[in-house]
Amino acid sequence: MKGYLGVDVGSVSTNLVLMDEDLAVRADVYTRTQGQPIAAVQRGMDELVAQFDRSWDIAGVGATGSARYLTGVVVGADTVKNEITAHAVAALHTVPDVRTVLEIGGQDSKIILLRDGVVTDFAMNTVCAAGTGSFLDHQAQRLGIPIEEFGTYALRSEKGAQIAGRCGVFAESDMIHKQQMGYATEDIIMGLCESLVRNYLNNLAKGKTISAPIVFQGGVAANAGMKRAFEAALGTEVIIPPHHHVMGALGSAILAKEHVERTGRETAFKGFETSQLEYRTSSFHCKGCANNCEIAKIEVEGEVLARFGSRCGKWDVDSAESKRSMEPVFVVD
Amino acid sequence: MKLTTPHMGTVEYLLTDLFARLGVDYMPPPPTTQKTLRLGLQHGPEFACLPLKLTLGNLIEGLDEGADATLMVGGCGPCRFGYYADIQRRIIKGLGYDYEAIVLEPPAHDFRQFVATLKHIAPDKSYRDIWNAFKTGFRKAQAYDRVDRAAIETRCYETERGATDRVREQAQALLAKTWSHHEVIEAETAALRLFDEMPRRDVTPLRISLVGEFYLLLEPFINFDIERYLGERGVWLERSVYLTDWIGPGTKNPVGGHPDEEVARFAAPYLEYRVGGEGQATVGHTVMARLHGHDGVIQLLPFTCMPDTIAKAILPTVSEREDIPVLTLIVDEQTGKAGVHTRLEAFLDLLVSRRRARAAASA
């Protein structure tokens, strides 16, 4: 059977999706990146293959996430797209008339506005990671609660405690203060969710019109407390898609399918065996001119696969992979 | 006197030429690098904008290379930039450097003071010599600006990556050789012809208007080389400000093509006052973008920049009413290139799908 692969390598998690020709998710993997994107992709591929009960003929592969270029070279991607576009595509597929996408991932959060199936505006958090998955993770650890149960705790609360959510550091000291005062853990957790939602709406969504249908996705969407807080603040239902945690990967699989069908090209996929290969990455400064570009190099079994980062292009490897994934040219016909 | 100045886009071409005419010993500082930024961060006030920090780093590096005098522009309007020359003098003197700090008022602001400063730098030249040197030097700088404009309007069509950069270098080499007013004008025509003669791809490119704070728009080191990045991805660009339009005594902006009054008129329904810096111009150019058939607008500003922060607060309304997508990029030393590229890529995707949706609707 024909399948399409989507790989989303972010700062915190690496997600893979196997999608069939009808855009249905047939297998998915959510694993930690742990600062080693290549190893995470290889591990993810192994885990994905273990979920198959039949052989799939991979017809297209898409890469996204902050490590998309590196990933594109390793797996042999047909499309390399930014995570904003990938998330919007997946949300549109799940809820065709979606008008707002709230996405909170490991270290970044985004808001995407769509009208009539076209992205019209977006924003992404900049220097502050308060309210993202890493922060919630850290707080769960501090409270001694598994992150998976964070939402259940929040739902048991009748009224959230007031927590200052403007800054992660202050939110944490405020939570400690509330604990010392004897507030119930449930109320503190719900209060944290409420303050993070307030922070998200006041910063990221500032000046933007949020209208329904609203889709909430990303790892943090698993937290029922966050859903409840968003619904209370927005006064409307917030839809959490079934594959909310791997929407970026799903979006990139859809983009890969569209690309392969449009161009009629054979996929560049290198096969699941890449998980067995040994990759080496390194970097150096080019001394060719005053630009002093930092070049990242990636090698497999002694062969240079790609070099990124030179302005003039003199270090570019003339291979199909690097050409395909390095230079997305936006030409409108 | 051995004079150095900070980098700022193409200002070096103007100053090299002008000081050669005036017989001033001029030495540009070493190219702006991470080291320059480090120096600026170390010695500059934290909440000042990135332009202060980078130009401070330039001046220190220029002095370290042997200059004994610095020239920094003052400024017009209530933007903090006007104070930077003095703040930098205090910081650098405080570090123990012994040198002369000269402040040059832009001719647009105070022409008399401008000429007096040049007279101070070149005391053995007559006012007539200085006027002639400035007139020709300025005209030559305009030619450099026109070459830059041609480059951002051509790069999207190039058939081979880097072709526009090579032509730009050839064009600049033609200009560098000129001396007389007449030669400058002839070389300008020849330089611009080089762009016209380049082989072109047959495409209808996306069109983006770059607006925002002056220094950020002009200096590739801190704007992530945005013009080249977008141009290589096939985007035709308009830039709201050019060096000679900004410092020139007139308000007609002959290089950019849109006089101050015109821009202010378009801004007026949203922002009636000059709020310093490029605040009003940012709003005006965003309003004009749709009328000029552009697909989108990108606003660049340094973190803590007051005038463009005011504009930023107004742009969502402009974007909605004028139906023009706007992407705002705020830059400081923490801003990562990867994050900027992700946003730019997504913005291009947004513009492409809008184009497609429109084409489908009209078909």
Q: Interface pTM (ipTM) of the complex?
A: 0.83
Residue type, B102: I
Residue A325 pLDDT > 50: no
Nearest CB to B357; choose among A83, A116, A208 = A116
Better-predicted residue by pLDDT, A216 or A273: A216
Q: Give pLDDT, residue A322.
A: 47
Which residue's entry shows tokens 């992530």? B224
User: Which residues of chain B lie closer than 8 angstroms to A83, CB-CB?
Assistant: 342
A292/chain B closest Cα distance in angstroms? 9
Among A99-113, A309-323, B18-32, name the one with the lowest average pLDDT: A309-323
A318 has a chain B CB within 8 A of its CB: no
Q: Give pLDDT, residue A131.
A: 66
User: Which residues of chain B lie closer than 8 angstroms to A292, CB-CB?
Assistant: 33
Q: Which residues of chain A does CATH 3.30.420.40 include? A: 2-88+247-276, 96-240
Better-predicted residue by pLDDT, A178 or B286: B286
Distances (CA, A) of B209 to A65, B117, B240: 27, 36, 7
Among A96-110, B185-199, B205-219, name the one with the lowest average pLDDT: A96-110
Better-predicted residue by pLDDT, B295 or B33: B295
A85 has a chain B CB within 8 A of its CB: yes
Residue A326 pLDDT > 50: no
A82 has a chain B CB within 8 A of its CB: yes
Contact A308, B213 (CB under 8 A): no
Q: Reduce the DSSP state of residue A6 to 3 states and report it.
A: strand
Which residues 240-259 of chain A have a CB within 8 Å of chain B? none
Cross-strand pairs, A96: none
What share of chain A has pLDDT > 90, as a percent? 43
Q: Give the torsion sign (CA, B284, B289, B290, B291).
A: positive
Nearest CB to B233; choose among A207, A312, A328 = A328
The C-alpha atoms of residue A31 and residue A41 are separated, in whole angstroms, by 9
User: Which residues of chain B lie closer than 8 angstroms to A313, CB-CB?
Assistant: 161-162
Chain A contact probe: residue of B310, B349, B354 with most A CBs at under 10 A: B349
Q: How many Cα neighbours within 13 Å face the side chain of B266?
A: 20
Q: Are A85 and B205 inside 8 Å of each other by CB?
A: no
Q: For residue A113, what are the contacts with CB-CB under 8 A and spacing of at least 6? A: A99, A100, A101, A119, A120, A121, A122, A208, A209, A210
Angle between helices A247-263 and A83-94 (to 10 degrees): 90
**Which CATH code fits B205-363?**
3.40.50.11900
Q: Are A331 and B234 inside 8 Å of each other by CB?
A: yes
Nearest to B343 by CA among B172, B224, B196: B224
Read off the tokens for B91: 């910081």
Contact B29, B5 (CB under 8 A): yes
Burial of A285 (0-12, 13-18, 19+ CB in 10 A): exposed
A120 has a chain B CB within 8 A of its CB: yes
Q: Give pLDDT, residue B247.
A: 83
pLDDT digits (tens, 9 = 90+) for A127-155: 566 667 888 888 888 888 888 888 899 99
User: Which residues of chain B lie closer than 8 angstroms to A81, CB-CB?
Assistant: 345, 349
A182/chain B closest Cα distance in angstroms? 39
Which chain A residue has its CA at the smallest distance from B157's CA?
Answer: A331
According to the CATH classification, is domain A2-88+247-276 in 3.30.420.40? Answer: yes
Which chain B residue has its CA at the smallest distance from A293's CA?
Answer: B33
Domains B2-125 and B205-363 equal at CATH topology level: yes
A122 has a chain B CB within 8 A of its CB: yes
Q: Are A332 and B357 inside 8 Å of each other by CB?
A: no
A315/chain B closest Cα distance in angstroms? 14
Q: Are B232 and A329 inside 8 Å of each other by CB?
A: yes
Which chain A residue has its CA at the smallest distance from B328's CA?
Answer: A123
Read off the tokens for B40: 């600026």
Of A168-182, A212-226, A309-323, B107-121, the range with the highest mean pLDDT is A212-226
User: Do the bridges between strand B69-73 and strand B206-212 make them parallel or antiparallel, or are there none, so unpaired?
Assistant: unpaired
Q: For residue A69, what are the contacts with CB-CB under 8 A and spacing of at least 6? A: A63, A80, A308, A325, A326
The C-alpha atoms of residue B228 and residue A178 are separated, in whole angstroms, by 52
B69/chain A closest Cα distance in angstroms? 25
B280 pLDDT band (50/70/90 cuts)?
very high
A274/chain B closest Cα distance in angstroms? 26
Per domain, the residue ranges of chain B are 2-125, 138-203, 205-363
Q: Are A118 and B346 inside 8 Å of each other by CB?
A: no
Contact A227, A188 (CB under 8 A): no
A53 has a chain B CB within 8 A of its CB: no
User: Which residues of chain B lie closer than 8 angstroms to A311, CB-CB?
Assistant: 225, 228
Q: Give pLDDT, residue A321.
A: 47
A53 pLDDT band (50/70/90 cuts)?
confident
User: Which residues of chain A lie closer than 8 angstroms to B203, CB-CB?
Assistant: 331-333
Write out the CATH class of domain B138-203.
alpha beta
For range A68-79, the mean pLDDT: 90
A104/chain B closest Cα distance in angstroms? 16
Q: Give the torsion sign (CA, B90, B92, B93, B95).
A: positive
Q: Are A332 and B334 inside 8 Å of each other by CB?
A: no
The C-alpha atoms of residue A236 and residue B160 are separated, in whole angstroms, by 52
Contact A158, A184 (CB under 8 A): no
Residue B294 pLDDT > 60: yes
pLDDT digits (tens, 9 = 90+) for B79-103: 788 888 999 999 999 999 999 999 9
Average pLDDT, chain B: 92
Which residues does B contribute to its contact with A (CB < 8 Å)?
Answer: 31, 33, 161-162, 201, 203-206, 225, 228, 232-235, 313, 316-317, 319, 325, 330, 334-335, 338-339, 342-343, 345-350, 352-357
Residue B213 pLDDT > 60: yes
Which chain B residue has its CA at the smallest distance from A329's CA?
Answer: B233
Distances (CA, A) of A238 to A99, A103, B174: 11, 12, 62
Nearest to A122 by CA among A95, A99, A90: A99
User: Which residues of chain B lie closer than 8 angstroms to A82, CB-CB?
Assistant: 342, 345-346, 349
Residue A120 pLDDT > 60: yes
Q: Give pLDDT, residue A301.
A: 79
Torsion of CA B253, B256, B258, B260, to 10 degrees: -40
For range A56-85, the mean pLDDT: 91
Q: Give pLDDT, residue A225.
A: 92
Chain B contact probe: residue of A9, A126, A128 with most B CBs at under 10 A: A126
Q: Are B349 and A81 inside 8 Å of each other by CB?
A: yes
pLDDT digits (tens, 9 = 90+) for B102-147: 998 877 778 888 889 999 999 999 999 999 999 999 999 999 999 9
Q: For residue B11, what are the contacts with CB-CB under 8 A and spacing of at least 6? A: B5, B243
According to the CATH classification, is domain B2-125 in 3.40.50? Answer: yes
Contact A44, A80 (CB under 8 A): no
The C-alpha atoms of residue B251 and residue A235 are separated, in whole angstroms, by 51
The C-alpha atoms of residue B113 and residue A158 are separated, in whole angstroms, by 70
Fold of the domain spanning A96-240:
Nucleotidyltransferase; domain 5 (3.30.420)
Read off the tokens for A86: 């990938």
